[in-house]
Homo-oligomer: A and B are copies of this chain.
């Protein structure tokens, strides 16, 4: 078992000083030709690699990004992760990913754990519980310490930091407008958790479209659903509200509702049209395929990582108050067979 070798080991072996070794390995001009060659050869032979931890301690940066998301078994987050990881990697950063599991406490614990020197900055999507409680002290704590933070998707106005979001309101508006444009009159909104700022925005867009299209706004057509197991709610809803279109704030709900509707004999899209947020695998492979709203997770991820790393690496210079920005990414409506073209 060849343990890892250190500068000190090389120095001892070659009978030179540690700093000579250090400089030689960096090809410093200060060091003589032969010493350099000797050291470099030895280092290569024993496969010397500087210890990341020691460098981190010295340089006061870790080249690690902390990512905190509510869930990973979720197409959207998964693509964001991939976007972040890819970009971060290209800049020499690694990603430490923590799942808050939709729990406020876990979010706080994870954050504190990482904030103690393990990472150079955070990228996160707030958990639903956090949004519900509106308690952002853990975020404040971190930003006050000067640790850069980028919020995406599920964000809050209460914290000043960089943000990346999609134009939820606008795309919901367009989705509804599209369905109205194909003759739909009773368009329902299936939502989950009104406290989520994204859901609020989507609801707003939904409402605005209804008004703009001269359609009646019926409170009964806005359905608040618990995360899972909601046949008992959707089934009767489908029967008693003579709806002809549905916009769902997430993919699973959309698919689930569509399957239920089909089972009840509704034709799709003729009787009921469906559009769902998140253009994931489910939408693509559903029967009929689901018209969906692409949130461009990869892009969001890489933009978030870019913003964060810029912030991290520019921290040294600037001393003035930073000016934060919110990047809005255009969502895209992917038209498939669950809507009338």
Pairwise interchain contact A99-B79, C-beta atoms closer than 8 A: no
Q: Give A113's nearest chain B residue, CB to CB.
A: B94
Q: Is A31 an interface residue (CB 8 A)?
A: no
Nearest CB of B to A132, in Å = 22
Pairwise interchain contact B81-A72, C-beta atoms closer than 8 A: yes
Q: Is A51 an interface residue (CB 8 A)?
A: yes
Q: Is A327 an interface residue (CB 8 A)?
A: no
Q: Give A298's nearest chain B residue, CB to CB.
A: B73
B-facing residues in A51-85 (Cβ within 8 Å): 51-54, 56-57, 62, 64, 71-75, 78-79, 81-82, 85
Q: Is A12 an interface residue (CB 8 A)?
A: no
Complex CA gap A97/B96 in Å reads 6
Pairwise interchain contact B285-A252, C-beta atoms closer than 8 A: yes
* Contact mask for chain A residues 127-144; partner B; CB cutoff 8 A; 1 contact, 0 none: 000000000000001001
Interfacial chain B residues near A281, Cβ < 8 Å: 252, 281-282
* Contact mask for chain A residues 89-124; partner B; CB cutoff 8 A; 1 contact, 0 none: 100001111110100000000101111111000000
Complex CA gap A99/B75 in Å reads 16
Complex CA gap A85/B99 in Å reads 7
Copies of this chain present? 2
- The 8 Å CB contact of A1, one of B82, B112, B145, B259, is B145
Interfacial chain B residues near A256, Cβ < 8 Å: 285
Q: Is A2 an interface residue (CB 8 A)?
A: yes
Q: Is A3 an interface residue (CB 8 A)?
A: yes
Interfacial chain B residues near A98, Cβ < 8 Å: 85, 89, 94-95
Q: Is A38 an interface residue (CB 8 A)?
A: no
A62 with B53: in contact, given A285-B252, A287-B259 (CB under 8 Å)?
A: yes
Interfacial chain B residues near A89, Cβ < 8 Å: 98, 110
- The 8 Å CB contact of A112, one of B49, B64, B79, is B49
Q: Is A50 an interface residue (CB 8 A)?
A: yes
Q: Is A26 an interface residue (CB 8 A)?
A: no
Pairwise interchain contact B85-A97, C-beta atoms closer than 8 A: yes
A94 with B73: in contact, given A1-B145, A145-B2, A145-B3 (CB under 8 Å)?
A: no
Q: Give A49's nearest chain B residue, CB to CB.
A: B116
A117 with B53: in contact, given A1-B144, A73-B78, A99-B85 (CB under 8 Å)?
A: yes
Nearest CB of B to A321, in Å = 10
Q: Is A262 an interface residue (CB 8 A)?
A: yes
A51 with B116: in contact, given A85-B97, A85-B98 (CB under 8 Å)?
A: yes
Complex CA gap A262/B113 in Å reads 51
- Nearest 8 CB-CB pairings of A with B: A51-B117, A52-B117, A53-B117, A49-B116, A73-B78, A287-B287, A1-B146, A52-B118
Seed contacts A53-B56, A259-B287, A286-B286; 17 additional CB < 8 Å A-B pairs: A2-B145, A49-B116, A51-B117, A53-B62, A53-B117, A54-B117, A72-B81, A73-B82, A82-B99, A86-B101, A95-B98, A252-B281, A262-B287, A281-B282, A282-B282, A286-B287, A287-B287
